[in-house]
A and B are shown apart, each in its own frame.
Chain A
Amino acid sequence: MNILIEQARIIDPSQQLDKVSNLYISRGHVMAISDQTPEGFIADQVINAKGKWLIPGLVDMRARLGEPGKKFAGSIASETKAAVAGGITSLCCPPDTDPVTDTQAVAELIQRRGRQAATAFVLPTGALTKGLEGKLLSNMHSLKQGGCVALSQANQPVENPLVMKNALDYASSQDLLVILRCEDQELKNNGVAHAGMVSTRLGLPNIPTSAETIALARDLILVEESGVRAHFSQLSCARSVEMIAQAKQRGLPITCDVAIHQLHLTEMDVMDFDPFTHVSPPLRSQADRDALRMGVKTGIIDAIVSDHTPLGRDDKALPFGESTPGISGLETLLALTLRLVEDGLIDLSQAIKLVSQQPADILGIHAGSLAVGYSADCVLIDPESYWTLDRKQMLSGGKNTPFNGWEFNAQVEMTLFQGRPVYRVNPV
Chain B
Amino acid sequence: MSPRLSSPNLQLNEQGKLKHFLSLEGLKPHHLTEILDTAESFINPQTNEIRKVPLLRGKTIMNLFFEPSTRTLTTFEIAEKRLSADVLNLNISTSATKKGESLLDTLWNLESMQADMFVIRHAESGAAHFFARHVAPHVHVMNAGDGQHAHPTQAMLDMFTIRKLKGDIFDLKVAIVGDILHSRVARSQIQALSMLEAREIRVIGPKTLIPPFPEALGVHVYHDMKSGLEDVDVVIMLRLQSERMKGALLPSEKEYFNLYGLTEQRLAFAKPGAIVMHPGPINRGVEIDSAVADGAQSVILQQVTYGIAVRMAVMAIIMSNAAQLAQSQNETALADTLEKAEREAQ
Do A and B contact each other directly (Cβ–Cβ < 8 Å)? yes
Footprint of B on A, CB under 8 Å? 195-206, 208, 264-265, 269, 272-273, 275, 313-323, 343, 405-407
A343 contact set on B, CB distance < 8 A: 1
Q: Please state if A201 and B148 are interface contacts (CB–CB under 8 Å).
A: no
Q: How many residues of B contact A (CB 8 A)?
A: 35
Q: Please state if B3 and A322 are interface contacts (CB–CB under 8 Å).
A: no
User: For residues 9 through 50 of chain B, which have their beta carbon under 8 Å from a beta carbon of chain A?
Assistant: 10, 25
Please, could you name 15 A-B residue pairs with CB atoms under 8 Å apart, sorted by A?
A195-B212, A196-B213, A199-B213, A200-B213, A201-B216, A204-B126, A205-B125, A275-B130, A314-B100, A317-B104, A317-B134, A318-B100, A319-B127, A321-B125, A406-B4
Q: Please state if B101 and A203 are interface contacts (CB–CB under 8 Å).
A: no
A201 touches which of B10, B25, B129, B182 (Cβ 8 Å): B25
Q: Please state if B99 and A321 are interface contacts (CB–CB under 8 Å).
A: no
Query: Could you tell me the distance in whole angstroms from the C-beta of A324 to the nearest C-beta in chain B?
Result: 9
Beyond A197-B216, A202-B125, is A272–B100 a contact (Cβ under 8 Å)? no
Q: Does B187 contact A (CB under 8 A)?
A: yes
Beyond A200-B217, A203-B187, A406-B4, is A319–B212 a contact (Cβ under 8 Å)? no
Measured CA separation A319–B134 after assembly (Å)? 11
Q: Please state if A204 and B149 are interface contacts (CB–CB under 8 Å).
A: yes
Q: Please state if B130 and A319 are interface contacts (CB–CB under 8 Å).
A: yes
Beyond A199-B212, A203-B184, A269-B2, is A319–B125 a contact (Cβ under 8 Å)? yes
Q: Please state if B3 and A406 are interface contacts (CB–CB under 8 Å).
A: yes
- Chain B, residue nearest A404 (CB): B4
Q: Please state if B103 and A204 are interface contacts (CB–CB under 8 Å).
A: no
Q: Does B273 contact A (CB under 8 A)?
A: no
Q: Please state if B3 and A315 are interface contacts (CB–CB under 8 Å).
A: no
Measured CA separation A318–B133 after assembly (Å)? 11
User: For residues 133 through 149 of chain B, which have their beta carbon under 8 Å from a beta carbon of chain A?
Assistant: 134, 146-149
B214 contact set on A, CB distance < 8 A: 200
Provide the B204-234 mask, 1 if CB < 8 A to any CB of A, else 0. 0000000111111100000000000000000
Q: Please state if B101 and A319 are interface contacts (CB–CB under 8 Å).
A: no
Q: Please state if B126 and A319 are interface contacts (CB–CB under 8 Å).
A: yes
Beyond A204-B126, A272-B129, is A317–B103 a contact (Cβ under 8 Å)? yes
Beyond A205-B148, A319-B130, is A197–B125 a contact (Cβ under 8 Å)? no
A320 contact set on B, CB distance < 8 A: 124-126, 130
- Chain A, residue nearest B129 (CB): A273
Q: Does B277 contact A (CB under 8 A)?
A: no
A203 contact set on B, CB distance < 8 A: 125, 147-150, 182, 184, 187
The 10 closest A-B pairs by CB, nearest first: A203-B148, A273-B126, A317-B100, A203-B149, A197-B216, A314-B100, A319-B124, A200-B211, A200-B213, A195-B212
Among B126, B187, B217, residue most surrounded by chain A Cβ atoms (within 10 Å): B126
- Chain B, residue nearest A268 (CB): B2
Measured CA separation A314–B98 after assembly (Å)? 10
Q: Please state if A314 and B212 are interface contacts (CB–CB under 8 Å).
A: no
**Told that A203-B150, A204-B148 touch, could you supply 5 new A-B pairs with CB distance under 8 A?**
A195-B213, A198-B216, A200-B213, A203-B184, A204-B147
User: For residues 256 through 313 of chain B, which have their beta carbon under 8 Å from a beta carbon of chain A?
Assistant: none
A195 contact set on B, CB distance < 8 A: 212-213
Measured CA separation A392–B228 after assembly (Å)? 54
Measured CA separation A75–B30 after assembly (Å)? 53
Query: Could you tell me the distance in whole angstroms from the C-beta of A342 to the nearest C-beta in chain B?
Result: 10
- Chain B, residue nearest A194 (CB): B212
- Chain A, residue nearest B99 (CB): A314
A197 contact set on B, CB distance < 8 A: 213, 215-216
Measured CA separation A275–B133 after assembly (Å)? 12
B121 contact set on A, CB distance < 8 A: none
Q: Does B7 contact A (CB under 8 A)?
A: yes
Among A198, A272, A313, A407, residue most surrounded by chain B Cβ atoms (within 10 Å): A272
- Chain A, residue nearest B148 (CB): A203
Q: Does B122 contact A (CB under 8 A)?
A: yes
Q: Please state if B212 and A200 are interface contacts (CB–CB under 8 Å).
A: yes
B148 contact set on A, CB distance < 8 A: 203-205
Query: Could you tell me the distance in whole angstroms from the C-beta of B8 to the nearest C-beta in chain A?
Result: 10
- Chain B, residue nearest A275 (CB): B130
- Chain B, residue nearest A406 (CB): B3
Among B104, B122, B125, B134, residue most surrounded by chain A Cβ atoms (within 10 Å): B125
A314 contact set on B, CB distance < 8 A: 99-101
B129 contact set on A, CB distance < 8 A: 272-273, 319
Q: Please state if A206 and B212 are interface contacts (CB–CB under 8 Å).
A: yes
Q: Please state if A264 and B2 are interface contacts (CB–CB under 8 Å).
A: yes
Measured CA separation A199–B3 after assembly (Å)? 23
B25 contact set on A, CB distance < 8 A: 201
Query: Could you tell me the distance in whole angstroms from the C-beta of B143 to the nearest C-beta in chain A?
Result: 12
Q: Please state if B212 and A208 are interface contacts (CB–CB under 8 Å).
A: yes
A316 touches which of B100, B122, B146, B211 (Cβ 8 Å): B100
Q: Please state if A407 and B3 are interface contacts (CB–CB under 8 Å).
A: yes
Measured CA separation A265–B2 after assembly (Å)? 8
Measured CA separation A199–B211 after assembly (Å)? 9
Query: Could you tell me the distance in whole angstroms from the C-beta of A336 to the nearest C-beta in chain B?
Result: 11
A265 contact set on B, CB distance < 8 A: 2
Q: Please state if B3 and A272 are interface contacts (CB–CB under 8 Å).
A: no
Beyond A200-B213, A201-B217, is A405–B4 a contact (Cβ under 8 Å)? yes
B101 contact set on A, CB distance < 8 A: 313-314, 317
B134 contact set on A, CB distance < 8 A: 317
Among B10, B130, B150, B217, residue most surrounded by chain A Cβ atoms (within 10 Å): B130
Query: Could you tell me the distance in whole angstroms from the C-beta of B195 to the nearest C-beta in chain A?
Result: 14
